[in-house]
Structures are given as structure tokens and as C-alpha cells.
Amino acid sequence: MPHSSDQAPFPWGALKSSTIALIALAGGVWMLNLPFAPLRWAVAKSAPVLLIPSFISMDQNYRQAIVNIKQADQLVNQATSPADFELGKTKANAAQKNLDALPVWFVGYYPSQYCSLFRCGWNFTIDEFRSARETVARMDATLFQEDNARTQIEQADQAIAEAQQAYRQTTDLPGQSKAIAQWQAAIDTLQEIPSKTLAGHMAQGKLSAYERDFQQVVGFTKDNTRTGSLITVAKQFAEEATQLAKNPPHSLAELEEIQKFWKTAIDRLSNITDKDPDYVAAQRQLVGYQKSLSGVQVQMKAEQESVQAFDEAQRLKKNLLAVTTNDPQGIDRGRVASELQAIIDELAKVKPGTTQYSDAQKLMKSAQNRLK
């Protein structure tokens, strides 16, 4: 029986060498899997098996991106409650992280050897990659709009609660007028929330209740039918003016019609005196209406001047054509240049946003080309 001292020593040197080799191999694989496109392309063509860690990560992120995008799209675009948006936001953020984890060189690439071993199923094209990012971006925009709408509702709720309390606790007219103005401003904020948002839809229910309470407490319909009617009629004329003002530019006749509606709305509100409880609210509306009327009047002046300038340019053009057509051999180039410059000067007076502006720009470009 050999003595224990005769046993072969443990091969520490071989173990150390093997460990170093293993570490070096792992380090090499790690380096080859770094997110450096030229290196990865070279390895993918010559030794794709070394990119298995990258393929596993990309396959998982691809699958998770598709799942998260579908779930986020369902939650965000068919939401029925704020909780759906919260979960949808989480899924959209997760999908964005998955897409960020997919390197550019991966898009459109199909690792046939890896997929034959691990049964992966991706073939992500450039168009699909862009479409996925655009989908996530649209959902982010929707979520941002919803967050803003919900914030507006919360602020309006708080402002109305404070206004109601101030109105009940205040006995003097200035204090009540201030509370009424705050109350009405908060209601207006709710009206401005986009109705296409879920928050906007929810705000409509609140709005009906708040307006009913406002009318009952302040007295638009109960205690002061006259001023309530005047404000309602003024709003109707203002809404008609706003509707007509859509899709500019407008002709002078159209602008005059819009101006008529604004003047009628202002006239109705002007009949509400400082003795009426609705005076503050009416004055606040009146400021906005007068501002809108001023804007229309500015447009009317610009339209009128632009029409005159364009007509004058057309007259000068007609005269120039007559001269060059009747006596083509005896054309005075200096006179032609002078006439062209006069046309250009008149066309420069045509203001942007008027009905003549587009045609004026085309004619000016033609005149400038002839002048060169």
C-alpha cells in the first residue's frame, strides 16, 4: 500500500492555466458581442456562433417589443379608465426599451444558424422597425395629451371648489364678483379640454353639473334671466363668427360678415351693466370678443390693401404687355425694366394670409425672372 506522501500532487498549474484560458475565452466572446456594428458584422459572417449571447438578447427584446407594443396600443387607444392609460404608459415605456436594445445592424438580419438551433422567428425589416417606433411615439403623444387633460381637470376641480367656498363665505359684492370670475374661468377651462381625449369625455359630465350649480347659485337663469339670455345670445353670435373664420384666407365680403357677428355679440354684452351680478363674467367675455373683432378688422384692412395692390400690378402688367406686343422691335429695355420693377413693388404690398397672396407670389416670381 503506497504511502499518502507518494500520491501525485494536485495539478494546480494546469487548473490555473485552464481558468485563465476560460476567462480569456469569456472575455473574447464578451468583446465580440459589444454593440459595435463593423465588428459584429464581421463576426456574423465568419463565426456567428460567437454572437449567441447577442442573438438571445435580441430575440428576447424583439419578441417583448412586439408583445408590449400590442398591449400598449390596446390599452392606450381603447382606454376606458385612467388605470388603462397608466398600464399603457408602462407597456409603451417597456416597448421603447426593447426597441432601444435592438442594434441598427440587427434590423433586416436573419441569423439562420442560430434560428435553426433555437427556433427563433424574427425577420425585422427597416419599415417594421420604423413603424414600431412611430407607433410608440404616437402612443407617447396620446399619453402626454391625456396627462395634460387630467391635470387641467384636477386644477379646474380645485379652482371651482375654492370659488364655491369663497362665494358662500363672502358677503360683499367685489368679493363675490371675484369668486364668480374664478368659478367661470374654471368652467371655461373644462370646456377647452379636447373632447377626443378620455379625460375630455369625463370632463363633459362634470361640466354639466358645474354649469347647473353655477346657474343656480349665481343666478344666470334663476335670478337674472335678462343677463343670462344676453350672455347666451352673445355666445351664439361669437360661435357663428368663429365658425365662419375657419379655413382662411377670406374675401373682403366674408370678413365683413364675420365682423358683423362679432359686433352683434359685443352689442349684446354691452347691455349688461355694472349693477348686474353677471357683469364681471360679461366683461371678461367682452374683452375676448373685442380682441377677436380687432383681429378681423386688421385682416379686412390687409385684404383691402392687398386687392388694390394686386389689381394695380395687373394693370401695370397689361400695359407692359401692350407695349411689348405692339412694338416688339422698338422695345425700350430701360422702360421695360422700370415697368417690371413697378409691378414687383406693387406685388410686395400684398400681405400674407390674404386671398391674393398666392397669385401675387407667382406673378412676382415671373416678373423677377424677366427682370434678371
What is the chain's pLDDT, residue by residue, as a tens digit (372 residues)?
A: 444 445 556 555 554 455 555 554 445 454 555 554 555 555 555 555 555 566 666 767 777 887 888 878 777 777 667 777 778 788 888 888 877 777 655 555 555 555 555 555 555 566 667 777 777 877 877 777 777 778 888 888 888 888 888 887 876 656 777 888 888 888 888 777 776 777 677 777 777 778 777 777 765 434 455 676 788 889 899 999 999 999 999 999 999 999 999 999 999 998 888 877 778 888 989 999 999 999 999 999 999 999 999 999 999 999 888 777 656 565 677 888 888 899 999 999 999 999 999 999 999 999 888 887
State the pLDDT at residue 163: 84
Q: What are phi and psi of 52, to 5 degrees?
A: -55, -40
Q: Are residues 100 and 156 in the same domain?
A: no
CA within 13 Å, CB half, 273? 1
Amino acid at 209: A
The reply to whether 108 and 169 lie within a common domain is: no
pTM over cut 0.85 = no
Does 143 map to a domain? Answer: no
Any domain includes 103:
yes
Q: Identify the pLDDT of residue 175.
A: 74
Q: What is the pLDDT of residue 221?
A: 37
Q: Do 94 and 155 contact (CB within 8 A), yes or no?
A: no
Domain that holds residue 310: 304-371
pLDDT value at residue 333: 78
Look-up of cell digits 412586439: 66
Helix (H/G/I), strand (E/B), else coil: 246: coil
Q: What is the pLDDT of residue 111?
A: 55
Contact indicator for 237, 245 with CB cutoff of 8 Å:
no
Q: Classify residue 343 by burial, with Cβ atoms within 10 Å: 0-12, 13-18, 19+.
A: buried
Peptide bond into 35 cis (omega under 30): no
Q: Are residues 96 and 164 in the same domain?
A: no
What is the C-alpha separation between 68 and 85, in angstroms, rounded?
14
Query: How far apart are alpha carbons 307 and 114 in whole angstroms?
Result: 72
114 and 180 share one domain? no
Q: What is the DSSP letter of 222?
A: T
Helix/strand/coil for 119: coil
Is residue 156 within 8 A of residue 209, CB to CB? The reply is no
Has residue 63 been placed in a domain? yes
* Grid coordinates of 233: 345670445
Instruction: Report in angstroms the alpha-carbon separations of 244 from 193, 261, 293, 357.
Output: 22, 9, 13, 20
247 φ/ψ sector (left φ>0, alpha ψ -120 to 50, else beta): left
Task: Tell me if 248 is assigned to some domain.
Answer: no
Asked whether residue 87 is domain-assigned, the answer is: yes
Q: What is the per-residue pLDDT for 327?
A: 60
Which helix (H) or strand (E) element contains residue 183? Answer: helix 173-192
| 111 and 159, same domain (yes or no) | no
Please indicate, yes or no, whether residues 117 and 184 belong to a single structural domain of this protein: no
Question: Domains in the chain: how many in total?
Answer: 3
The values of phi and psi at residue 143, to 5°, are -65, -40
Task: Answer yes or no: is 195 within a domain.
Answer: yes
CA 4 to chain CA centroid, Å, is: 83
CA angle in degrees (0–180, nearest 5) for 233-236-237:
90
Is 70 contained in some domain? yes
